[in-house]
């Protein structure tokens, strides 16, 4: 068939094209076995995409659940690639759906060359309409999956394919410029590089070797050697390279390493929001989305801001009553590409911190694809897990709450002022976090704190909302006390709380600051200090000074020595700051290698290797109140 790489097609015939009786792999929920075959879905340009088609044992047609993924083969284990034996797809087929597992363009068995993200609107639209027209289909199609596989849902959903009936995007974004590739103007360096190593670049190497006809043993050896070398060099070399655009591993020209991920450089070359990013942006397009979305996210996920925005805005602006009224939000505690389970980072949140997603998906798609009135559309729109960090040790807990809205009814924004005696440097300093907008304690009446930001000695990343190679640079909550010993980290801490404070919603920081540089970064990190002193990170984000007016607006350099207010959206959480705990805010100018370092110059982002040291001043006098804003819900307590 035209468009199918011959080597890939032969591999598909060997591994998955024959019909398989596979119900025995996961049990026999249905009397008849599920069967699977690989079919080829044609796109509008003639490229064909490999699609594993899992058919129920009962005669069809049936509604369709589709996942469109680049992840059916991992460069870490190429021989373990998907082979018509996807347990989740089998589960869906056992429950009366045709389940489709499709390789996106340019990945694994599919034809074409990958143009990451940009390709998914048209290809997703075509894939939905192809699936609707197949003889085994009723014409109703749903999409599901997480991360990039969430992107492969939102991109076609905003183009409104006629036969798309519902989506279930998990841990994905709303704006693929901000809070995906960049964060308030700062390049998400660790995500961009580690994601490419873990997935796209390594997969392209495998495809290059296949296309060259390399024997399997040599293919595996070459891939394993590259992957091991990349893992070793990520933290020791790659993230440190300046200028940022001098890093060339993903655009090499020597075979078989050529063009492993050329789109990485498209992203790096576009720090400003432009037509490239606008094409991908879901924000502003919710009125074009005609179907309900089951939005699933995690509190320590890298994309949780987008997950919540997608829920809120589709409920308000969706293009049909079903999209507005049927859309849901489900959030609990986990982090991106982290080990599965109820433990997140250092903290165990207990047996309630989990969800049976397969069962939920079946209920969701039973309602929207089969028309079964099972009540899911009349249940509360929001279901969230509220974290209860431990007093001592690392074993906490939590509980679930439901609501029709997020933020929850009764939420009030409480300001906490940053104050000090002028020496808030490190946890041993005199920084104070004072509830309310009053003057605070008399000993904390200094107008400002100062620190030196040296990009050659950045504040190290310790957990947080990150992705992707968790064993090298782990995500989630960890003890921040070592970070808080640095003089370039300002630490503002409350008195021990007299009663529980339940924080649910979007946490923000308004920071007044001066810098000696024409451009710089400011970071903020919300921390829960336990009874035993363990300093657990809750949320953190960054803002680049030239993007202080917003990531979608043109950048504007600052005047050295002038005071500016910076608004930092830390993200969403649901956590209890328990009685006896202390609320803490860290302020600095780097979080590396999570975010690329600001070099404190006026040069275009990523264009040179010049580093300048910046003198930073955080203001907190009456004219320049720097404030942490916590969304507090007094009515929410453990049932």
What DSSP string describes 548-578?
TT-TTSPP-PPPTT--EEEEEEEEEEEEEE-
Could you say which architecture CATH assigns to the domain 412-632? Sandwich (2.60)
Percent of the chain with pLDDT over 70: 94
- Specify the higher pLDDT residue, 354 or 437: 354
The kind and range of the H/E element at 504 are strand 501-515
| Burial letters 303-326, b for 16+ CB under 10 A, else e | bbbbbbbbbbbbbebbbeebbbeb
Task: With beta carbons less than 8 A apart as the criterion, state whether 518 and 571 touch.
Answer: no
User: What's the count of helices (H) and strands (E) in the chain, helices before strands?
Assistant: 12, 26
Query: Which residues 6+ apart lie within 8 Å of 240 measured at CB?
Result: none
Helix, strand, or coil here: 280? helix
- Beta pairing, strands 98-103 & 62-69: parallel
Instruction: Kindly tell me if the per-residue pLDDT of 26 is higher than 70.
Output: no
Helix, strand, or coil here: 416? strand
d(CA 40, CA 48): 6
If one counts every other C-beta atom within 10 angstroms of the C-beta of residue 604, the result is 13
Residue 255: Cβ-neighbour burial (10 angstroms; 0-12, 13-18, 19+): exposed
d(CA 105, CA 331): 31
Task: With beta carbons less than 8 A apart as the criterion, state whether 242 and 599 touch.
Answer: yes
Q: What is the pLDDT of residues 86-122, one digit of tens each?
A: 999 999 999 999 999 999 999 999 999 999 999 999 9
Question: Cα separations (Å) of 182 from 178, 190, 234, 622?
Answer: 5, 11, 19, 33
d(CA 64, CA 61): 9
Give me the chain's average pLDDT, please: 94
Q: What is the pLDDT of residues 482-509, one digit of tens each?
A: 999 999 999 999 999 999 999 999 999 9
If one counts every other C-beta atom within 10 angstroms of the C-beta of residue 212, the result is 12
Q: What is the pLDDT of residues 259-270, one digit of tens each?
A: 999 999 999 999
Task: With beta carbons less than 8 A apart as the criterion, state whether 213 and 7 touch.
Answer: yes
Q: 106: closest CA among 252, 278, 259?
A: 259
**pLDDT attached to residue 442:** 63
Question: Cα separations (Å) of 207 from 8, 17, 469?
Answer: 9, 19, 22
Task: With beta carbons less than 8 A apart as the criterion, state whether 102 and 50 touch.
Answer: yes
Cis peptide before 132 (omega within 30 of 0): no
Instruction: Kindly tell me if the per-residue pLDDT of 14 is higher than 60.
Output: no
d(CA 168, CA 188): 26
Output the six-digit token pair for 128: 């939905």
**Tokens 């024997």 found at:** 215
Q: What are phi and psi of 512, to 5 degrees?
A: -95, 130
Instruction: Kindly tell me if the per-residue pLDDT of 357 is higher than 80.
Output: yes
Q: What are phi and psi of 471, to 5 degrees?
A: -75, -15
d(CA 96, CA 635): 42
Q: What is the pLDDT of residues 522-553, one digit of tens each?
A: 999 999 999 999 999 999 999 999 999 999 99
Domain residue ranges of the chain, discontinuous segments joined by +: 1-139, 197-275, 412-632
Question: Cα separations (Å) of 1 from 5, 48, 100, 156, 549?
Answer: 9, 9, 20, 26, 52
Task: With beta carbons less than 8 A apart as the criterion, state whether 155 and 289 touch.
Answer: no
Question: Cα separations (Å) of 178 from 181, 185, 288, 552?
Answer: 6, 7, 21, 8
Distance separating the N- and C-terminal Cα atoms of the chain: 60
The stretch 603-610 carries a mean pLDDT of 92
d(CA 397, CA 2): 55
Instruction: Kindly tell me if the per-residue pLDDT of 31 is higher than 70.
Output: no
Q: What are phi and psi of 532, to 5 degrees?
A: -90, 10
The stretch 612-633 carries a mean pLDDT of 97
Question: Cα separations (Å) of 203 from 59, 76, 200, 624?
Answer: 37, 9, 5, 51
Instruction: Kindly tell me if the per-residue pLDDT of 347 is higher than 70.
Output: yes
What is the number of residues in the chain?
A: 639
Residue 606: which pLDDT band, with cuts at 50, 70 and 90? confident
d(CA 412, CA 433): 18
HSE-up of residue 403 (Cα within 13 Å, Cβ side): 21
**pLDDT attached to residue 127:** 98
If one counts every other C-beta atom within 10 angstroms of the C-beta of residue 235, the result is 16
Residue 141, beta-bridge partner list: 64, 164
Helix, strand, or coil here: 542? strand
In the chain, what are the helix, strand and coil shares in percent, each to the nearest 5? 25, 30, 45
The kind and range of the H/E element at 94 are helix 87-94
Task: With beta carbons less than 8 A apart as the criterion, state whether 156 and 121 touch.
Answer: yes
**Tokens 């909302």 found at:** 465
Percent of the chain with pLDDT over 90: 92
| Burial letters 615-633, b for 16+ CB under 10 A, else e | bbbbbbeeebbbbbbbbbb
Q: Which DSSP state fits 455?
A: T
If one counts every other C-beta atom within 10 angstroms of the C-beta of residue 153, the result is 29
Q: What is the pTM of this model?
A: 0.94
Class of domain 1-139: alpha beta
In degrees, rounded to 5, the angle at the alpha carbon of residue 430 between the alpha carbons of residues 426 and 433 is 95
d(CA 54, CA 76): 26
Query: Which residues 6+ apart lie within 8 Å of 360 measured at CB?
Result: 294, 330
Sign of CA dihedral 229, 232, 233, 239: positive
Q: What is the pLDDT of residues 215-258, one digit of tens each?
A: 999 999 999 999 999 999 999 999 999 999 999 999 999 999 99
**pLDDT attached to residue 4:** 39
Residue 567, beta-bridge partner list: 510
């Amino acid at each position: 068939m035209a468009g199918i790489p011959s080597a890939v097609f032969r591999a598909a015939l060997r591994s998955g094209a024959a019909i398989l009786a596979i119900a025995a792999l996961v049990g026999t929920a249905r009397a008849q076995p599920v069967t699977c075959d690989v079919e080829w879905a044609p796109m509008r340009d003639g490229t064909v995409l490999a699609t594993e088609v899992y058919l129920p044992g009962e005669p069809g047609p049936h509604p369709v659940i589709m996942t469109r993924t680049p992840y059916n083969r991992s460069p870490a284990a190429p021989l373990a690639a998907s082979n018509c034996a996807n347990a989740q797809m089998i589960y869906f087929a056992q429950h009366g759906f045709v389940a489709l597992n499709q390789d996106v363009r340019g990945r694994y068995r599919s034809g074409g060359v990958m143009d990451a993200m940009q390709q998914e609107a048209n290809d997703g639209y075509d894939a939905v309409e192809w699936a609707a027209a197949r003889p085994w289909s009723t014409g109703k199609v749903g999409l599901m999956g997480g991360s990039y596989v969430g992107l492969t849902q939102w991109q076609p959903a905003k183009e409104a394919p006629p036969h798309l009936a519902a989506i279930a995007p998990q841990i994905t974004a709303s704006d693929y410029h901000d809070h995906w590739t960049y964060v308030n103007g700062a390049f998400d360096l660790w995500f961009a590089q580690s994601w490419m190593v873990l997935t796209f670049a390594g997969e392209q190497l495998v495809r290059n070797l296949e296309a060259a006809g390399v024997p399997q043993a040599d293919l595996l050896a070459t891939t394993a050697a590259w992957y091991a070398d990349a893992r070793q060099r990520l933290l020791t070399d790659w993230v440190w390279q300046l200028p940022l655009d001098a890093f060339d591993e993903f655009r090499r020209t020597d075979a078989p390493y050529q063009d492993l991920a050329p789109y990485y450089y498209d992203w790096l070359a576009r720090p400003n929001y432009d037509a490239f990013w606008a094409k991908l942006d879901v924000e502003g397009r919710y009125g074009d989305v005609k179907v309900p979305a089951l939005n699933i996210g995690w509190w320590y996920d890298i994309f949780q801001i987008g997950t919540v925005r997608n829920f809120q805005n589709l409920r308000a602006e969706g293009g049909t009553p079903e999209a507005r009224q049927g859309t849901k939000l489900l959030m609990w505690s986990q982090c991106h590409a982290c080990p599965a389970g109820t433990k997140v980072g250092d903290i165990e949140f207990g047996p309630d911190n989990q969800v049976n997603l397969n069962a939920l998906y079946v209920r969701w798609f039973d309602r929207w694809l089969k028309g079964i009135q099972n009540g899911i559309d009349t249940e509360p729109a929001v279901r969230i897990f509220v974290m209860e960090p431990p007093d001592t040790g690392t074993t906490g807990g939590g509980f679930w709450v439901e609501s029709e809205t997020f933020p929850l009814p009764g939420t009030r924004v409480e300001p906490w002022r940053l104050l000090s005696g002028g020496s808030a440097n490190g946890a041993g300093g005199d920084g104070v976090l004072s509830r309310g907008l009053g003057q605070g304690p008399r000993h904390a009446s200094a107008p400002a704190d100062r620190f030196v930001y040296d990009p050659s000695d950045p504040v190290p990343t310790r957990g947080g909302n990150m992705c992707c190679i968790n064993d090298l640079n782990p995500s989630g909550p960890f003890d921040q006390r070592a970070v808080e010993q640095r003089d370039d980290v300002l630490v503002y801490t409350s008195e021990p709380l007299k009663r529980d404070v339940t924080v649910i919603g979007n946490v923000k920081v308004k920071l007044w600051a001066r810098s000696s540089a024409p451009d710089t970064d400011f970071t903020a990190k919300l921390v829960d200090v336990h009874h035993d002193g363990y300093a657990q990170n809750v949320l953190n984000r960054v803002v680049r000074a030239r993007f202080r007016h917003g990531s979608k607006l043109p950048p504007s350099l600052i005047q050295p020595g002038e005071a500016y207010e910076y608004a930092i959206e830390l993200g969403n959480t649901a956590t209890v700051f328990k009685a006896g705990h202390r609320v803490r805010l860290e302020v600095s100018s780097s979080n590396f290698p999570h975010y690329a370092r600001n070099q404190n110059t006026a040069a275009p982002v990523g264009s040179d290797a010049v580093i300048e040291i910046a003198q930073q001043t955080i203001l907190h006098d009456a004219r320049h109140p720097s404030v942490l804003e916590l969304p507090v819900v007094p009515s929410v307590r453990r049932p």
